Structure formats: structure tokens, C-alpha cells
Structure 1
Amino acid sequence: MKAELGLFLGLVVLCAFCPLEAHCEMTLDEAIAIALENNFAILSAHEAVAGTEHQRRSAFTDFLPKLKAEGAYTHLNETPTVSQGPTPPIPVYMNPSNPWGPPPNPTQPIGYTPTIPATTRAVSDKDSWTLRGSLIQPVFTGGALINRYRLAKIGVETARAALERLKQEVSLAVVKAYFGVLTAIELKKVADQAVRLLENQRDVAQEFYNVG
């Protein structure tokens, strides 16, 4: 900050000593405005205020419901399938006249179940999509959300107060430097007048000396 202020004061001095016809005089308000616009500490303080504002907005959004959506897409090179069979014939041992009784010939089946050939069928497509959504609304957090928001607001107020204090310090330094330059200019004018007066006295004394 001191280096920046030194550069600014150098600019003030340069413009203050410029001749009036060059139109390079700088008013006090202009000097303060230039210092506030170009001071790195003030620019950094502005960024700090913006950062705390972002934190405050983020803390406020915690009170709002949150919608979450997810999706996935899968592509397979081949269609997934499942195969069954073939089912071999099964012998049937049953008494046709008495289904609950013993078969007439335990060693000789009365028939066989039909054979089921092998089959293959698809269980899904090559392309599949998965979509999932959720809505979350905080109901009770034990005061954590409100405390976080209050702290964020305090952070914003603190950053703004620091910015204003820094502006006042820079403005005060510029005012002191500005009037210091004006004082130096007036002292230079007085010194120039004194030099001219001494030169005139010297010339008069030289003329008296020459006349003898």
C-alpha cells in the first residue's frame, strides 16, 4: 500500500507542478478517486466483500429444498439372452384307474412327458437408461443452518466495514499529500519571489557600484 501511495503521490506532484496551460491540474476529488480506483488493498477488499456475499448466499440456499437428478446410459455389444432346455422326456408311473394307488407295473412306465426343445430369449435391450431423482428439504438441523447464515452475514458486515475503513485511510492520506503539495507550491512561489527580489537588489547594487 505504501508503494502504491508513493506512486500516486508522485503523480500528484508531477501534475501539480505542471504549467496551467498544460491542463494537467488535478482536483482533490479527482486525486481521491484515482487512489481509490487503483489501490491494490482496496481492490482486494472488494474481492473479500464479494467472497463473503457468495458465502452468505450459499448459506441461504441451505434453507431451500434441493432437487437431485442422476442418469446413466449403458450400451452393450450384444443383446443379453438366457437359454433353457432341452428338457428330456420324463417317464410317468401312474395307475389310470386309481391315480392315488400303486402303478400296475412299477418297472414299466405308462408314458413319457413330451420333450421341450431348447429355447433362447432376450432378457434386456442393448441400450438401457437409468434415471433417478430426489428432493431433499431440511426440516430440523438443531440450529446449524440459521447459525451458519448468521455467521455469514456477520462476515459480510465485517468485510464491508474493513473496506470502508481502508477507503477512509487512503482518502485521508491523499488529502494530506494533496495539501502538502499545495503548500510546497506556495512555498516555491514565495522562494521564487525572494530570489527575484534578491536579484533586483543585486542589480541595483551593481549599478551603484558601476556609477561609483
Structure 2
Amino acid sequence: MEGYDMKRRRLIHWFGFFLLVAFIAVPTLGASQERKNYFTLEKSIAEALANSYKIKARAERIEQAMDIKKQARADFLPKLGTAYSYTRLSEPPVSRTSIFGTGIPLVLGTEDNYRWTWFLRQPLFTGFALISSYKLAELGIDQSQLELDLEKLDLILRVKEAYFNILGADKAVEVAKTTVESLTQTVKVARSFFEVGMIPINDVLKAEVELANAEQSLVRARNSAQTTRASFNTVLARMADTPVEVEDILVFKPEIGEYAEYEKKALENRPEIKILDVNLLQTDQQIRLAKSKYFPEISLTYQYISEGDEASVKGSPYVDANHWEVLAVANWTFWEWGKTYYAGREKESLKRQLMETKSDVEDGIRLQVKQATLDLDAAAKNIPTTLKGVNAGEENLRVNEERYKAQVSTITDLLDAQTLLARARLEYYRALYDHNLAKARLERALGSY
């Protein structure tokens, strides 16, 4: 019996221990999950870059371009190959000269002929085609890297937009909740005044209507906040319904800079311009490649040949089993009815087209920078103005609340004051949102993160 009690106490002891561990672990796991779903702007950008399918696809393009370069490099090296052939003649080849004038023809070979060749072929001159192809492959790597940089710029802007959309939506929810709380209190005050006969019933009804409208606005604001989170998760390649909380960075930080400085920086940094510069270099090599057909192609070939009248290629009475030969070969197609000429003209026209495109893109970048600086300037000017509106709205509401309690103003004045304050707060937060978003778009226009 004593042993049974001891076992029972041990069991209770261990059960208590595991229960304690569970109580400690559950809050820890919850906190870990909260940290995972809490994002700063820097963390959001890092996760988007790590998860983006488009970024991964662009990285694969770089790998492909590097493999294309290796292929082009291989064309400079000698090529080793083999060929096996069988030839059946209708009759053995003979000489036109008879043997010692006897009239008997001289047999020179057999009807069955087998040939196995090993060859080593080295290009010596290709009209600069191999060099041009190799440089094109190198430029292809540069272009793929720049396209990756461009994709990163676009992705980071989308992350910032999604991030600020959440902050803007949360501020709208905050304003809507404050408005509902204020109107709820107003309805309570109006009912108490009505019950003692100080105001008519229609004043109570007005307050209740405004409260109902505010509650509907709160529902819409919360739905909008959930939608912005789904969009944020999509940009970060996460499940759309994953919970998200973000750090509030809707603050006013003045941006100091001049348009001329911004324009110069944008034209130097934008990947779109750099890609077109690479494209122009590519057309130079394409022109050179097209004109390589004006030159002969020269190669050196070493061949080791095994022949015979049987499949084992062990020779015959007429040929040795093995022999080798070295061939220097020049191939030159010098007339193709203007094909090479027109190919060169096509690439020269492409170069002129790219130059015009580059000028157009530069004009577009200048316009983007100008628009971004104007938007940033407008948002910066709106923030102090809207903040004054909030302060005035709060004071106006306070005065109207005191006046209404003293029954020297109507409930309509009080409801109007609450509406004006809610609108002023929304305008202030919208100005902050516009300023942060304008700054993000200016950074994108400058080609920076």
C-alpha cells in the first residue's frame, strides 16, 4: 500500500511538472507568433525580396545568361567528334588503264566500304563572329542583372504602398471608433435631457441617426483595413488571410532637395536607362556579327581515319587500316544577293530606334521626378494645415459640448462639430499618408530604395 502511494505521488509530481511547462510554453509560442506577424518597413521589404516569385524568376534569368556566356566561350575551343559511315558501290572501282596492256582492268577498291573517322576541329578565323557572340553573352548577363534591379525597385515600391495603405486604413478605423464613442456619449446625454423634458425627441433621433451612420462607417473602415492586409500579404507572397500588424511610421520628416539634383540622380541611377545603354552596346556587337559574313571562315581539322571492307574497319587489299590527315579549310560565301548588307542595315536601324527610345524614356523619367517632387511638396504643405484643422476641430467640439450641456446651442451644432472633427482627423492622416507615399515614389523615380 505504501508503494502504491509513492507511485501515486510521483505521478502527481510529474503531471504537475508537465502542466507547468505547458503553461510557460503556450504564452511563449503566442509571443513568437505575434513577432512573426509584426512587421517594420525594413522587415517587410526583406521578406518580400526573399519570397517574391518574380525576383526568383529574374535570378534564374541571370543563371541562364551565365550559361549562355559559357556556351559562347566553348565556341573558341577545339571540337572533338567521330563519324562512322558505310558505302555500297554498284561495282568495284577500276582503272581505265589495263594491266600491262592485257585488256584486264585494274581493280582499285571493293564494293563494301566502311569508314570510321575521329576529328578535332579548331576555328582559326570567323570574321570576328565568335568574339561578337561572346561579348553579346557578357552583355546579356549585365542586362539580366539590371532587369533584376528594376524588378526589386518595383517590388519595394509595391511593399511601401501596401504598408502605408495598412497604416492609412488603421487610422481611418481609429477615427471611426473615436467618432462612434463620441456619438454614443452624445446619444446618452440627449436621452437624459429628453427624459427631463429639456429637448424634444427629434434631437435624440438626430443623434441616433448620426450614431448609426458612424457605426456603418466603422464597419467599412474595418473591412478596408482587412483588405489592405490581404493586399500586403499578397505582395509578400504570404497567405492572404494571415494576421498582420505593422509599425506605425506615419510621421512627418521633411525632405530636402532640389529638382535639378533629383533629375541628375535619376538619369544616372535608373535601371531603365542602364538597360538601354546595354542594349545599344548589344546592337554594336550585332552589327559586327552581321558583317562577319563579309569575311571567309578559316578552320584547321585533324582527322584520324580507319577504313576497310568490313565493319571492323581493319583495312582491305586496297586501303590501309589507319591513316591521319590535317586539313586547312577556308569557306567564303561572297554573294547572297545583298543578304549580309541588309542584315547590317537592320541592326543599324535597331540602334537608331534604341537611341530614340532612350530619349523618350529620359523625358518620361524627368516627368516622373517632377511629379513626385510636386506631390511631396504638396503633401508637406498640407500637413501643418490639416494639423491646425484638427486642433481647431477639437476646440470647436469642446466648446459645443459645453454649450450643449448648458443648453445654449442645439444638438445639430454638436453633431456638426463631431463631424467636422472626424473629417479634420481623416484629412490630417491622409496628408501624412500622402507625404510618406510621395517620398516612396520619389525614391522609386530616383532609382533608389
TM-score by length of 2: 0.28
Query: Aligned partners of 1:34 and 1:59: how far apart in 2?
Result: 35
Query: Aligned partners of 2:169 and 2:180: how far apart in 1?
Result: 16
Contact 1:36 1:170 in 2 (8 A): no
Q: Match of 2:190?
A: 205
Counterparts in 2 of 1:78-157, with a 5 A limit? 131-157=116-142
Q: Which moved more, 1:61-70 or 1:161-170?
A: 61-70
Q: What's the CA shift for 1:45?
A: 2.9
Matched, 1:37 2:72: no
Contact 2:48 2:159 in 1 (8 A): no
SS of residue paired to 1:139: strand
SS of residue paired to 1:138: strand
Distance 1:58 1:185, change over 3 A: same
Q: What's the CA shift for 1:29?
A: 4.2
Instruction: Give the residue type in structure 2 aligned to 1:50.
Output: E
Q: What's the CA shift for 1:50?
A: 2.8
Contact 1:60 1:149 in 2 (8 A): yes
Contact 1:70 1:133 in 2 (8 A): yes
Distance 1:185 1:68, change over 3 A: same
Give CA deviations for 1:8-53 in whole Å, capped at 9, x if unaligned. Answer: xxxxxxxxxxxx997373523454333663444x444334333322
Q: What's the CA shift for 1:147?
A: 1.1
Q: Match of 2:37?
A: 25
Query: Aligned partners of 2:65 and 2:195: how far apart in 1?
Result: 81
Matched, 1:64 2:85: no
Distance 1:189 1:178, change over 3 A: same
Give CA deviations for 1:68-90 in whole Å, capped at 9, x if unaligned. Answer: 234579xxxxxxxxxxxxxxxxx
Query: Aligned partners of 2:32 and 2:59: how far apart in 1?
Result: 38
Instruction: Give the residue type in structure 1 aligned to 2:187.
Output: R
Q: What's the CA shift for 1:61?
A: 0.9
SS of residue paired to 1:69: strand
SS of residue paired to 2:81: strand
2:155 maps to which of 156, 170, 192: 170
Query: Aligned partners of 1:140 and 1:25: how far apart in 2?
Result: 62
Query: Aligned partners of 1:48 and 1:38: how far apart in 2?
Result: 15
Q: Match of 2:171?
A: 186
Instruction: Give the residue type in structure 1 aligned to 2:37.
Output: E
SS of residue paired to 1:64: coil
Distance 1:35 1:181, change over 3 A: farther
Give CA deviations for 1:84-129 in whole Å, capped at 9, x if unaligned. Answer: xxxxxxxxxxxxxxxxxxxxxxxxxxxxxxxxxxxxxxx9xxxxx9
Q: What's the CA shift for 1:177?
A: 1.7
Contact 2:48 2:155 in 1 (8 A): no
Q: Match of 1:12?
A: none
Long gaps (5+) in structure 1: 1-19, 74-122, 124-128
Instruction: Give the residue type in structure 1 aligned to 2:66.
Output: E
SS of residue paired to 1:137: strand
Query: Aligned partners of 2:165 and 2:137: how far apart in 1?
Result: 42
TM-score by length of 1: 0.54
Query: Aligned partners of 1:65 and 1:157: how far apart in 2?
Result: 28
Whichever structure has more helix as a proportion of its residues is 2
What is the alpha-carbon root mean square deviation over aligned residues? 3.5
Give CA deviations for 1:140-184 in whole Å, capped at 9, x if unaligned. Answer: 223221111011111111121012101111111211121121121
Query: Aligned partners of 1:57 and 1:182: how far apart in 2?
Result: 49
Query: Aligned partners of 2:173 and 2:71: how far apart in 1?
Result: 58
Instruction: Give the residue type in structure 2 aligned to 1:187.
Output: A
Q: Match of 1:76?
A: none
Contact 1:36 1:167 in 2 (8 A): no
Query: Aligned partners of 2:167 and 2:132: how far apart in 1?
Result: 53
SS of residue paired to 1:206: helix
Query: Aligned partners of 1:56 and 1:36: how far apart in 2?
Result: 27
Bigger Rg, structure 1 or 2: 1
Distance 1:189 1:206, change over 3 A: same
Query: Aligned partners of 2:162 and 2:58: how far apart in 1?
Result: 23
Long gaps (5+) in structure 2: 1-30, 87-109, 198-449
SS of residue paired to 2:124: coil
Return the structure number with greater relative CO, CA threshold 8 A, min gap 6: 1
